[in-house]
Amino acid sequence: MHIGFLQGRRWVGITAGALMVLALVLPIDGIAANTSAPHWISAWGAAPSFLQPSEQVAVDDQTLRQTIKLTYAGQQLRVRLSNLFGHDPLVVGAVTVAPVGQPQQRRRVTFAGAGAVTIPAGAPMLSDAVDLPVKARQDLEVSIYLPGRTLLSTIHWDRFNHTMISAAGDFSQAASFEAVADTPLRSFLSGVDVLPSRPAKLVVAFGDSITDTDCKIADQLCRWSDILAARLQAAGKPYAVANEAISGNRVLSDGYGLSALARFDRDVLAVPGVTDVIVLEGINDIGNSGGDIYGIAQPVITAETLIAGYQQLIARAHVHGIRIIGCTMTPFAGAGYYSPAKDQVRKAANDWIRHSGAFDGVIDFEQVARDPAQPDRLLPALERGDHLHPNEAGQRAMGNAISLDLF
């Protein structure tokens, strides 16, 4: 298949043996960050979210150990913690990091030189630089010792990459420990930054569960953003990728996490090193339109109201010199909250994403994922069976379909 895209004022052809996405690339004066010298960039992220009070769990004098996979190499790293949704100060007794399988490389993480730190309610906390060289796609374990009773209030849902919880005591320096419990909640860990040896850029993937998906095998790279990160690395392009999506998220309304409009500054604009953001969001706004969540009536969403939300994200990205790439929403006929009227809203919004020229680039995920015989549905081979979420094959198709000429 041969697909063209606009670069400056000329059409460039792409030949692809597999699916390739139509990528409209528009030059923006001054859009890229200053990359004349190496600077800190996020090599992994998890947007902070929350649970209902009845769903929260607590630990007491215990250690949390979480495993992450970095998307870029660096000579140093630093850890970002968050107490965004805590109502009380978060007392952290110790934090350590170590490459998985290399306990001898474990490093103590400090905050203004101290191993312990108290994070005010609602606040983030950035660590000092840690001298620990790391590689792209390397697994890193982060251990957080919480000396007192602590509600896991600021979390990120991750079904398969579980957080290990120790018995009583500080196990942050232990090579291993027997977990007395584990949880699919990443707690208080919102990011890991690296200082590369040469200038680099950062793409933030921003959206809902179609972006913040889970894998059947723990620590497997299966999200489209992971595939994109691996392809950028293989192509020698100096880009890290941070996934800042939240399952169930919406553009206009809070629900599972704050709305995209509410969290965009924190989860995109404030992420270290960000130069580009890819937005795939809106299907939950449409699907829940006029419905009921936790007994609360939901607003009726039109294409116009959703587009107005996109325009806000675009304007705010451009104020900060960040390129913003829009993605068409994938089909959802057969999903629990589908209706033909709602699908008309999706199609109208997709037409605007494709043709308005408002985004700096467009990734047409609808083309990639739809069933040619029934275009309102996901291709059966690419979906989980709920008619809404792409499966691992679908995520791979999406990640492989993104034109690297966008970057």
Question: Do the beta carbons of residue 166 and residue 62 sit within 8 Å?
Answer: yes
CA distances from 151 to 64, 256, 297, 306, 369 (A): 13, 18, 29, 35, 40
pLDDT of residue 38: 87
Tell me whether residue 35 is in a domain.
no
pLDDT of residue 222: 83
Question: Do the beta carbons of residue 31 and residue 271 sit within 8 Å?
Answer: no
Give the chain's domain count: 2
Query: Does pLDDT of 297 surpass 70?
Result: yes
pLDDT of residue 159: 67
Largest CA distance in the chain: 64
Tell me whether residue 39 is in a domain.
no
Question: Do the beta carbons of residue 301 and residue 284 sit within 8 Å?
Answer: no
Do residues 139 and 83 share a domain? Answer: yes
CB within 8 A of 374, min separation 6: which ones?
Answer: 333
Residue 238, φ and ψ in degrees, nearest 5: -80, 70
Do residues 273 and 341 share a domain? Answer: yes
CB within 8 A of 238, min separation 6: which ones?
Answer: 196, 198, 199, 200, 201
Distance CA 230, CA 399 (A): 9
Rounded CA Rg of the chain: 21
Percent of the chain at pLDDT exceeding 90: 82
Name the residue range of residue 18's domain. Answer: 2-30+200-406
Q: What is the DSSP string of 357-377?
A: --SSEEE-HHHHHEETTEEEE
Query: Does pLDDT of 32 surpass 90?
Result: no
pLDDT digits (tens, 9 = 90+) for 126-179: 999 999 999 999 999 999 999 999 999 999 987 667 899 999 999 999 999 999
Do residues 8 and 107 share a domain? Answer: no
Query: Does residue 235 sit in helix, strand or coil?
Result: coil
pLDDT of residue 10: 28
Do residues 170 and 218 share a domain? Answer: no
pLDDT of residue 221: 73
pLDDT digits (tens, 9 = 90+) for 307-349: 999 999 999 999 999 999 999 999 999 999 999 999 999 999 9
Tell me whether residue 36 is in a domain.
no
57 vs 206, more confident = 206
